[in-house]
Amino acid sequence: DQQVKQNSPSLSVQEGRISILNCDYTNSMFDYFLWYKKYPAEGPTFLISISSIKDKNEDGRFTVFLNKSAKHLSLHIVPSQPGDSAVYFCAAITGNQFYFGTGTSLTVIP
């Protein structure tokens, strides 16, 4: 059973607009969440993380929001740039266990 879900396999956004990538999870014991970005034929690179005791973390154009009551995580990219086109994974950690979503492919249209 998938404990971390990314229900949108793909997303297209116009350059300069906001990209919102969503992630849902089932385990209330997750204590840390991460977002990774992956280009084709490369490995994922770490983007941004958030502790379960926070509800928002911001780093430049990237902001992650955590809604624990809804068990929902989202990554906002503002403004979106063509170089942001990639696959984005969310991941959740409890103890020493990592759980990954299946990824959302973001395309930013110039």
Partner 1 sequence: DSGVTQTPKHLITATGQRVTLRCSPRSGDLSVYWYQQSLDQGLQFLIQYYNGEERAKGNILERFSAQQFPDLHSELNLSSLELGDSALYFCASTTGDNYGYTFGSGTRLTVV
The nearest distance, CB 98 to partner 1, in angstroms, is 6
Q: How many CB atoms are closer than 10 A to CB 78? A: 13
Beta-ladder partners of 89: 36
Residue 50-89 contact track with partner 1, rule CB under 8 A, x = bound: -------------------------------------x-x
The nearest distance, CB 45 to partner 1, in angstroms, is 8
Rounded to an integer, what distance in angstroms lies between the CA atom of residue 33 and that of residue 71? 11
* DSSP symbol at 83: G
Half-sphere exposure of 29 (CA within 13 A, CB side): 7
63 or 85: CB nearest partner 1: 85
> Which chain residues interact with partner 1 by CB under 8 A?
1-2, 9-10, 36, 40-46, 87, 89, 96-100, 102-103, 105
